């Protein structure tokens, strides 16, 4: 068998970013306000995080090195913009959880949600609609 794993029918391979908790907090600000300076991010997070400017700036520089952020330099000003979408970040987080908790299998995860997380009738109805919608989609 080759090293590359075949994807199950209906699953698309796309870039998935795995962010740390601190990177998530920063990315949420950048997605909302970007492009923005590290000072803007630090000020926005001041109420929820007690991070010094240097902590935010260092983290953002590292995120740029990882390819999560892009830096636009205008004279002495550095503006950070996202290089990953919120969808790709969520995809990475979801895949990490799915792999860790359910060995990458989607069906046991859904079964767990249904059996142990107490879905409301409305949520169960929404899941049925999504499942039916997926059956009729032809763009796999």
Whether 92 is in a domain gets the answer: no
Query: Structurally, how many domains does the chain consist of?
Result: 2
Q: What is the mean pLDDT of residues 105-124?
A: 88
What are the tens digits of pLDDT across the range 43-90?
Answer: 999 999 999 999 999 999 999 999 999 999 999 999 999 999 999 999
Q: The pTM is what?
A: 0.74
Cα dihedral 23/92/134/117 (nearest 10): -70
What is the number of other CB atoms lying within 10 angstroms of the CB of residue 102?
15
Local structure of 96: helix, strand or coil: helix
Report pLDDT for 98.
Answer: 94
* CB atoms closer than 10 angstroms to residue 34: 16
Are 68 and 113 found together in one domain? no
Residue-range definition of the domain harbouring residue 66: 21-82
Residue 128 confidence (pLDDT): 86
Q: pLDDT at residue 101 above 70?
A: yes
If we measure between CA atoms, which residue out of 79, 119, 92, 84 comes closest to residue 20? 92
In a domain, 3, yes or no: no
């Amino acid at each position: 068998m080759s090293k590359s794993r075949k994807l199950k029918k209906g699953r698309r391979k796309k870039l998935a970013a795995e962010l740390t908790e601190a990177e998530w907090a920063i990315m949420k600000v950048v997605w909302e306000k970007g492009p923005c300076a590290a000072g803007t991010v630090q000020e926005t997070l001041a109420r929820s995080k007690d991070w010094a400017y240097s902590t935010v700036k260092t983290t953002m520089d590292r995120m740029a090195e990882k390819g999560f952020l892009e830096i636009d330099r205008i004279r002495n000003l550095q503006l950070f913009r996202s290089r990953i979408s919120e969808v790709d970040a969520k995809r990475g987080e979801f895949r990490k959880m799915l792999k860790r908790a359910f060995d990458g299998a989607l069906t046991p995860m859904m079964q767990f949600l249904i059996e142990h997380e107490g879905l409301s009738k409305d949520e169960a109805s929404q899941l049925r609609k999504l499942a039916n919608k997926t059956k009729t989609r032809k763009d796999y």
